[in-house]
Structure 1
Amino acid sequence: MVSDNGFNTDWVSAPGDTIIDLMDEFGFNEEELSKRVGLSMIKSRELISGELILTEKIANKLESLFNVSTTFWLSRENKYRQHKDAIIRQNNEWVQSLPTSDMSKLGWIPKGLSGNKKVEYCLIFFGVSSVPEWFNYYKSKQTAIAFRKSEAFRTEEMAVITWLKKAEYVSRKQRTYAWDKEILKGSLEALRKHSLEADPKVFLPAIRSILADAGVALVILPTPTGCPASGATCFFESGKATLIMSFRYLRDDHFWFTLFHEIGHLVLHNCEQHRIEGMSGLSEKEEQEANEFSSNVLIPPAYRAEFDTLSGRNWKNIIKFARKIGVSKGIVLGQLQHAQKIPFDHFAKFKVKYNREDLS
């Protein structure tokens, strides 16, 4: 992750600020300053704003005009330029660490940005006015984030933070009732029934409504490059949980397992507890608990013994079992594959594959 490198965020203003103070003290206006220093009105204004470099020649004129040494003016100018260069370097380092290519492709920032414009729009995206403000915000932010990640991908913290920030914007637009763990627990069967529906355009609005009744906003959001999260749970607002799904693998078994895994965190763990950084994921114990919770929702314990008898030798039994317990055959196959009862490359046609454009 990009570092603040001990950057001193104290503001260092342009020498023009001191010039303005002295103009007030001596009773000079801009026109008189221009004449005395030997600059045009335009250049004089650039000097005051810090756009024009304060040279030794100008410093000599200012010494004569205000009785303030040339050395002072040159030192003041040097410190200002060093500070400005440090800001530019940090801005460039920060924006280069962001997944800006994907941010523009996904419509999170305008396309075709470069230089200061790219920095400007990335700051707008994060809702801050400067990179030092961004660092201060994320150093002090204590939102509990626990995201499932694939070990096949390399986690880039900046990509994860970017994904979560966009998810926050989407979540805040969704209206829900107040967060209620008991209502969420009571809605598991209603949610599970929708696994039989193959069309995301049908089941997503339905499960979003069920979750909203329990105070949970469901956000479906693709990840930028470098963010390996398939799901996340957090509280961007007090009294409102957010469950984020990336739909990374575009298959029904993965989607429904991840959904109930994340619900497991909300039900089993103190997801409102703030954590510093918050990007390292949950403990191995909590992850295992969430995995078991999801498996037990999808394949209820009452049917576990029958599930254990299934294998790839009789695929019809898998279909019958799925119908019997009321979930898709892709989910049952996925659980069998996870239990290493069936190879991952077998019976791929059992699983429903989604189109990215159908997800919203």
Structure 2
Amino acid sequence: MGTPLRPFTPVSPGEILAEEIEARGWSQSDLAAVLGRPAQAINEIVVGKKAITPETAIALSQAMGTSAEYWLNLEASYRLDLLHARGGPPSGDVERRARLFSKVPLKELIRIGWIQADLSDLDQTEAAVCRFLEISSIEEEAKLPFAARKAEARAPHTPAQMAWVCQVRQVARAMKVQQYTRDGLAAAALNLGRLSTSEGETRRVASVLADLGVRFVVVPPLAGTKIDGATVWLDDESPVVAVSFRYDRLDWFWFTLMHELAHVASGDGRRQPLIDLSLVGADGGSEEVPPIEARANRTAAHWLVPEDAMKTFLRQTRPYFGRDAILRFAARLGVHPAIVVGQLQKRGEVPYTHHRSLLVKVRSAFGGV
């Protein structure tokens, strides 16, 4: 069926009300007396100067033996007909803005400078969003298929998560690194944790990884993303590991970093960028972990604290993991004690509330991003 024809001149509810008044042999003043309203108010409705409100619709329904919805529908249809008679809304700006906001958290990205745009210029804003997502048209979907452990099974990735990974890729493209080899990364991984012992050593993470052919990117989290880190490949020979500093805690940083490096060493994410949510902390252990993530967890933990050394420490120290014991074990391994505390918490050996003083901050080593 085609679109229903509309009258060229919209019929106002007032015209219909005037007919109803006449059919009853009343005057406008009579109806005003029945409704307990001023006569001027009835006249303004009849001549179209005043809209029928819900309260008036109820009163008319009682006076005329109709329904309140009848009068409200007449009013709504009349207002819509007026818009159509005048050529409709001035533009499709609302629809365009809605499409842009469905692609990315646009206001937040403009505020933090990831996208340079002025919302009053929709052509310019749309072009900026397309450049950011690397698409030729706003009708396209960003070419970022994900495979990741998510907070909700089968939940789609959000525009904010997509935007975060797009920013990671853009930052990484500007970086120069040596040629990547898996053997080189695997050989160096067991010693990377030694960089955790001081802020000065931690600052060397980016340059050490660059020498191994891995781009290291820090991108702050967007609101509501819960992203800890990601593994992205610019091409088959160019891995990127990214962290968000959702938590400013040394154990969080090192486990997240090593988890992503474990993905790189296994070749994960070459075809589907991997993002990791809630890797560390009390919010990260309740959901089922996919095999690819469980493997990366085991590898990261082993690189930081070799499994045989951890088993010996657990056997000799249970059930009381005192501060001195943790400090001695960390010194023997050559890592910061926060890493040991994080491992004990992850294994359920100590509550997340214990040894908080050892869980020092680390963000300042990367410029406080």
TM-score (norm 2): 0.63
Q: Say which SS state the counterpart of residue 231 (structure 1) adopts.
A: strand
The residue that corresponds to 1:126 in the other structure is 133
Whether the 8 Å CA contact 2:227–2:275 is kept in 1: the answer is: no
1:197-256 Cα shifts (integer Å, max 9, x gaps): 235xx523x221222222211111112113222111121234211111111111010110
The residue that corresponds to 1:292 in the other structure is 298
Q: Mark the runs of 5 or more structure 1 residues left unpaired by the alignment.
A: 1-80
Whether the 8 Å CA contact 1:250–1:354 is kept in 2: the answer is: yes
Q: CA deviation at 1:96?
A: 4.5
The residue that corresponds to 2:188 in the other structure is 187
- 1:189-338, aligned counterparts within 5 Å? 189-198=190-199, 203-204=202-203, 206-272=204-270, 274-275=271-272, 284-309=290-315, 310=317, 311-338=319-346
Q: CA deviation at 1:298?
A: 1.2
Distance 1:237 1:260, change over 3 A: same
Distance 1:269 1:312, change over 3 A: farther
Distance 1:324 1:150, change over 3 A: farther
Q: CA deviation at 1:288?
A: 0.6
- 1:1-360, aligned counterparts within 5 Å? 89-110=95-116, 113-114=119-120, 116=122, 117-132=124-139, 134-135=140-141, 138=142, 141=143, 145-147=146-148, 156-198=157-199, 203-204=202-203, 206-272=204-270, 274-275=271-272, 284-309=290-315, 310=317, 311-355=319-363, 358-359=367-368
Q: Say which SS state the counterpart of residue 308 (structure 1) adopts.
A: helix
> Quick check: which has more Rg, 1 or 2?
2
Whether the 8 Å CA contact 1:157–1:279 is kept in 2: the answer is: no
Distance 1:293 1:270 in 2: 13
Q: CA deviation at 1:101?
A: 3.1
Percent identity over the alignment is 26
Amino acid corresponding to residue 258 of structure 2 in structure 1: F
TM-score (norm 1): 0.65
Q: CA deviation at 1:352?
A: 1.3
Q: CA deviation at 1:87?
A: 8.7
Q: CA deviation at 1:348?
A: 0.6
Number of corresponding residues: 267
Q: Say which SS state the counterpart of residue 211 (structure 1) adopts.
A: helix
Q: Say which SS state the counterpart of residue 237 (structure 1) adopts.
A: coil
| Bigger relative contact order (CA 8 A; separation at least 6) | 1
Distance 1:347 1:123, change over 3 A: same
Distance 1:289 1:219, change over 3 A: same
Q: Mark the runs of 5 or more structure 2 residues left unpaired by the alignment.
A: 1-86, 278-287
